[in-house]
Amino acid sequence: MLASASIDGTTLLWNLRTGSKIHTMVQVGGETVRVCRFSPDSTLLATAGDNGQVCLWDLIRRNLVRYFQKHEGAVQSVCFSPDTSWLVTTCTFGVMKLFATSDIIDSCFTDNQAITALASIDDAHDLGVVSCDFSTCQKITGNEPFTKVYQLVTCGNDHYVKLWEITVIQSKCETSTVKISLCRIMEKHSSALTCVCFNANGLFIASSGLDKTAVIWETDTGKVMAITTGHNRYVACCAFSRDGNLLATGSNDKSVIVWDLKGNLCFDSELARRFTPALFLDNHEESVEYEQTVMKNAETSVNDVQLIQRLEEHGGVINSVAFYGNHLIASGSGDKLIRVWSIETEEEANAEIITKFQEKSYSPLDGHKYSINHVEFSPCGRMLASCSLDGTVIIWDTENGSQAKSSFVNSGSGIRVCRWSPDGTKIATAGDDERTTLWDVNNMEELCIFSGHADAINAIAFTHDSCYLITACNEGTWRLFQISDNKNCEALIICGEAHDLGVQGCDFCPTSNFITNGRSENIITNKNSYLLATGGNDSLVKLWQITIDKVNVISSGSSGSSSGDVRYKERRSFAGHGGNVTCVRFPPIQSEILGSVATDRTARIWNVYSGTCLYVLEEHESLVTACAFSQDTSLFITGALDKTVLIWKIPQQLISQNILINNLKNNRKRVADWKIDDTLRWLDEIGLSILIKKANTISLTGRHLLSLSENELTNRLDIEQDEETAEAFKTQLYWLKREDNNSSEIPIDDSEISHEFLCPITHEIMKEPVQCSDGFTYEKAAINEWFLCGKYTSPMTNKPLRDTSFTPNVILRNAIYTFLHGNRPTDDN
């Protein structure tokens, strides 16, 4: 992607492969934008301009995360630290401020101006700072307290280039402390400067100025390495190529000059390695036909929700639908029957994936005397629960259609809803008697009865950890109960005004990470946060955040509408439906989107993060009553009073968003910042999954990998006696440290590089090669950024990808690292 900023108050995102515009971001207030900067992990973009305002944008969701105004002068430069942890902003008054990126992201629901700088320099440059840049080099010292040292370079209207050292001290029990120190002042320019930047490994600095020159400095000594003279007017900007061989300068004389820093190029030299997709094909004779196919595939792009199947077997209205995984669909109807379909996919000769729906041989299931109100599969998929107006709940065996358990009999009133706990051990039922009953699935014993509602209960939902249960009723209220303690049946929360005229549906987000964009860590371990969605007769969908102090709730058994230990707050309200909202559902594994249906005959898919309606589905001929997502979010089903079940195919961009977030948040993450999960992921990616269990037991982190000796690590992992595994681990650790410490250049002769080592997207040597569903291997960061551009097709064939998952290419990775770094030295450092 390419970002461009303008005095018209907009910042544009461009797809470099196609030249097309991806998105337009408008600065708050429409002020002039002077600078835009990507975060190193490609998830954020910072923009700033004349009024001192800084905007931070989420590139995955294309949303404004936060804006704040902490400068009195115009902001002309911003930059992120190499680990994306810190953001530096500078202004024309000479002020430089440092902010924690996590503070900006994690505070998106509070006052925009509440953010505070962790460090500030009021006189960084006389007459103003015009440019700044972080070095990719990062020093790590100590373990506790843990210290990270960054290098920052700035330039200003005072003719100087300044090198700064930013020291961040982190300890387990205290907040981070930050210190900014001036290391060196470099003077060579005879006029004000315009731009400054580090090269890729941080060894050199380039600066440009009004004196028509660009200067290259050695970072460690401040020595002038070269002065370029070739422009007729002032030099406005400069940039190094990624490999450090070239320097580009742009000038007010309307020219761009590319400088050869190594002295190895001539006019006939190729700046990019010769590359063709045919190199990656087994049969090169088919390359012409292949290129034609690629161009044909490029003409098509499917980003809309598609109706792919209409099921019309029921003889009555559809009251409930359910998914198990990606394989089974169930529906409950007013005809007293439950129908179950299996889902199968087939690949046709043209590589197109066809989805087929086949009703199970035992379907329909007949056991209730009156209308079926709700159906839901157990978490394991072996059972299906159904409840009816006849006051019973039946648990069915999904293998043969028989009754797996005896019926749960309620007090005789109709049961409107039955839900499984996510751990599969309990079932909750509720209905017209205004009570909710919790049952033990194994012995069918009644565990607890939750009461307090003054009207029929329409909806219930468990939290993802099976600790709490929500109940909602026609009165317009919802209540939260703790189910881990069967003796306490009092409500922890009573929300008395959830929806006017009644609550019809509710569902909990399947993960606890829902407020931020997936980057933040849960530091406070004794608090649980949950995101609840509700839909009501007021035509609204609402999101609620519930926060529970686990320790205090368990010890005191506190109850009430909202105590100091249990809090709730309405976060968002989605307006768009033109009738009563009858059902709301999150996808089973992600929290980015939400589905809802209503009596206006439509279904809607919402962006949870922004609150915008992504799609409106309008194929039903009557009131829509139920909806559900498949496990991988590729399918969405709806049921209505028109006796039909409709199955919709979700576009790949929605399916992939949550995967993309998880992938991108680890892009370029420094080893020192690795948590236990990051270390376990690394062991899996390098083919040493045999060590995962032990590494998890000893809580192995990135700090341990960097600070402990090889022998101590192999001893802790208990692999001293397994010479083969120990040697493989030591080799991978050696390569890991070499890659993490990118300050040393690796001279490479292009003629020696195998084409298999090159990423088809970047044409550069891969460091984290991963194989995608199209069968080709790409650099991990490159394919993630490919998806970030909104492309869910193969970069090699332009065909739609079956999915956006990928697996590490361990064999190729080892070959590349052997080529780059050689074998590990035998001595233990």
Q: What is the pLDDT of residues 151-193, one digit of tens each?
A: 999 999 999 999 999 998 876 555 678 999 999 999 999 999 9
DSSP state of 689: G
**CA-to-CA distance for 577 and 479, rounded, in angstroms?**
25
**CA-to-CA distance for 759 and 819, rounded, in angstroms?**
15
Note the pLDDT of residue 42: 83
Picking from 103-117, 258-272, 424-438, 695-709, which range would have the lowest pLDDT averaged per residue? 103-117
Most confident of 65-74, 99-108, 780-789: 65-74
Percent of the chain residues topping a pLDDT of 90: 54
Confidence of residue 301 (pLDDT cuts 50, 70, 90): very low
Token pair listed for 438: 């919790």
Q: Contact 1/788 with Cβ under 8 angstroms?
A: yes
Q: How many CB atoms lie within 10 A of CB 136?
A: 20
User: How distant, in Å, are the alpha carbons of 129, 404, 446 from that of 442?
Assistant: 69, 11, 11
Largest CA distance in the chain: 92
User: How distant, in Å, are the alpha carbons of 236, 294, 427, 534 from that of 408?
Assistant: 77, 58, 10, 27
User: Is residue 718 pLDDT above 80, yes or no?
Assistant: yes
Q: Contact 461/507 with Cβ under 8 angstroms?
A: yes
Note the pLDDT of residue 827: 56
Mean per-residue pLDDT for 655-681? 70
Note the pLDDT of residue 520: 37
User: Is residue 500 pLDDT above 80, yes or no?
Assistant: yes
Q: Contact 593/605 with Cβ under 8 angstroms?
A: yes
Mean per-residue pLDDT for 300-320? 85
35 vs 139, more confident: 35
CA–CA–CA angle 296, 302, 306 (5° rounding): 135
Mean per-residue pLDDT for 527-545? 92
Note the pLDDT of residue 656: 62
The CATH 3.30.40.10 domain(s) of the chain lie at 745-828
User: Is residue 402 pLDDT above 90, yes or no?
Assistant: yes
Q: Which residues contact 275 (CB under 8 A, 6 or more apart)?
A: 755, 758, 760, 763
User: Is residue 247 pLDDT above 90, yes or no?
Assistant: yes
The CATH 1.10.150.50 domain(s) of the chain lie at 668-742
Confidence of residue 636 (pLDDT cuts 50, 70, 90): very high
The CATH 2.130.10.10 domain(s) of the chain lie at 2-132, 289-515+526-551+564-665
Confidence of residue 609 (pLDDT cuts 50, 70, 90): confident
User: Is residue 678 pLDDT above 80, yes or no?
Assistant: yes
Picking from 160-164, 266-270, 325-329, 413-417, which range would have the lowest pLDDT averaged per residue? 266-270
Task: Quote the mean pLDDT of the chain.
Answer: 85
Tell me the backbone φ, ψ of residue 436, rounded to 5 degrees. -120, 130
User: Is residue 85 pLDDT above 80, yes or no?
Assistant: yes
Note the pLDDT of residue 685: 86
User: Is residue 521 pLDDT above 90, yes or no?
Assistant: no
Cis peptide leading into residue 145 (ω within 30°): yes
218 vs 828, more confident: 218
User: Is residue 194 pLDDT above 50, yes or no?
Assistant: yes
Percent of the chain residues topping a pLDDT of 70: 83
Sign of the Cα pseudo-torsion (644, 314, 589, 805, in order):
negative
If we measure between CA atoms, which residue out of 232, 192, 219, 222 comes closest to residue 208? 192
User: Is residue 560 pLDDT above 60, yes or no?
Assistant: no
Picking from 175-184, 712-721, 753-762, 783-792, which range would have the lowest pLDDT averaged per residue? 783-792
User: Is residue 111 pLDDT above 80, yes or no?
Assistant: no
**CA-to-CA distance for 20 and 298, rounded, in angstroms?**
13
Q: Contact 506/436 with Cβ under 8 angstroms?
A: no
User: Is residue 368 pLDDT above 90, yes or no?
Assistant: yes
Most confident of 174-183, 380-389, 547-556: 380-389
Token pair listed for 543: 């999101």
User: Is residue 492 pLDDT above 70, yes or no?
Assistant: yes
668-742 has CATH 1.10.150.50 classification: yes
Which CATH code of 3.40.50.2300, 3.10.180.10, 2.40.10.480, 1.10.510.10 fits the domain covering 190-273? 2.40.10.480
Note the pLDDT of residue 464: 92
| Partner residues linked to 57 by β-bridges | 45, 64
Picking from 319-328, 506-515, 633-642, 774-783, which range would have the lowest pLDDT averaged per residue? 506-515
Mean per-residue pLDDT for 659-684? 74
Note the pLDDT of residue 107: 46
Note the pLDDT of residue 562: 46
Domain 289-515+526-551+564-665 belongs to what architecture?
A: 7 Propeller (2.130)
User: Is residue 49 pLDDT above 50, yes or no?
Assistant: yes
Beta strands in 631-697 (DSSP E): 635-640, 645-649
User: Is residue 286 pLDDT above 90, yes or no?
Assistant: no
Q: Look at the chain and count its residues.
A: 829
User: How distant, in Å, are the alpha carbons of 334, 363, 636, 716 from that of 642?
Assistant: 11, 20, 18, 64
Note the pLDDT of residue 518: 38
2-132 has CATH 1.10.240.10 classification: no
| Partner residues linked to 224 by β-bridges | 217
784 vs 265, more confident: 784
Rg (CA), the chain: 30
Confidence of residue 276 (pLDDT cuts 50, 70, 90): low
DSSP state of 755: G
Q: Which residues contact 724 (CB under 8 A, 6 or more apart)?
A: none
Note the pLDDT of residue 561: 44
Q: Could you tell me the CATH superfamily of domain 745-828? A: Zinc/RING finger domain, C3HC4 (zinc finger) (3.30.40.10)
Condensed to tens digits (0 to 9), the pLDDT of residues 4-48 reads: 999 999 999 998 877 888 888 999 888 899 999 999 888 899 999
Beta strands in 512-565 (DSSP E): 527-536, 540-549
484 vs 181, more confident: 181
Note the pLDDT of residue 233: 95
**CA-to-CA distance for 673 and 162, rounded, in angstroms?**
28
**CA-to-CA distance for 268 and 265, rounded, in angstroms?**
8
User: Is residue 295 pLDDT above 50, yes or no?
Assistant: no
What does the CA dihedral 797, 800, 801, 803 come to, rounded to 10 degrees?
170
With residue 695 as reference, give the H or E element that holds it: helix 692-697
Confidence of residue 754 (pLDDT cuts 50, 70, 90): confident
Mean per-residue pLDDT for 602-607? 92
- In the chain, % helix, strand, coil (3-state, to 5) comes to 15, 40, 45
User: Is residue 779 pLDDT above 70, yes or no?
Assistant: yes
3-state class (DSSP) for residue 66: strand
Mean per-residue pLDDT for 787-799? 78
Picking from 52-56, 274-278, 778-782, 796-800, which range would have the lowest pLDDT averaged per residue? 274-278
User: Is residue 201 pLDDT above 50, yes or no?
Assistant: yes
Tell me the DSSP string of 664-679. Answer: HTTTT--GGG--HHHH
Note the pLDDT of residue 235: 96
User: Is residue 773 pLDDT above 50, yes or no?
Assistant: yes
Mean per-residue pLDDT for 209-218? 96
565 vs 124, more confident: 124
Token pair listed for 558: 């506190």
**CA-to-CA distance for 811 and 796, rounded, in angstroms?**
21
With residue 707 as reference, give the H or E element that holds it: helix 702-707
Note the pLDDT of residue 404: 86
**Buried-exposed string 801-819: b where 16+ CB fall within 10 A, e elsewhere:** bbebebebbbebbbebbee
Q: Contact 631/323 with Cβ under 8 angstroms?
A: yes
Picking from 190-194, 495-499, 557-561, 618-622, which range would have the lowest pLDDT averaged per residue? 557-561
User: Is residue 637 pLDDT above 80, yes or no?
Assistant: yes
User: Is residue 209 pLDDT above 60, yes or no?
Assistant: yes
Note the pLDDT of residue 789: 72
Confidence of residue 298 (pLDDT cuts 50, 70, 90): very low
Note the pLDDT of residue 116: 87
User: Is residue 386 pLDDT above 90, yes or no?
Assistant: yes
**CA-to-CA distance for 477 and 628, rounded, in angstroms?**
23
Tell me the DSSP string of 274-330. Answer: ---GGGGSS-GGGHHHHHHHHHHHHT----S-EEEEEE---SS-EEEEEEETTTEEE
User: Is residue 595 pLDDT above 50, yes or no?
Assistant: yes
Note the pLDDT of residue 694: 92
User: Is residue 758 pLDDT above 80, yes or no?
Assistant: yes
Note the pLDDT of residue 730: 92
Tell me the backbone φ, ψ of residue 30, rounded to 5 degrees. 70, 20
Picking from 114-118, 434-438, 517-521, 762-766, which range would have the lowest pLDDT averaged per residue? 517-521
Note the pLDDT of residue 377: 97
Note the pLDDT of residue 515: 44
Question: What region, left, alpha or beta, does residue 80 occupy, with left being phi > 0 and alpha being psi -120 to 50 degrees?
Answer: beta
**What's the number of CA atoms in the CB half-sphere (13 Å) around residue 717?**
32
Sign of the Cα pseudo-torsion (134, 136, 137, 139, in order):
positive
* pTM for this prediction: 0.64
The CATH 2.40.10.480 domain(s) of the chain lie at 190-273
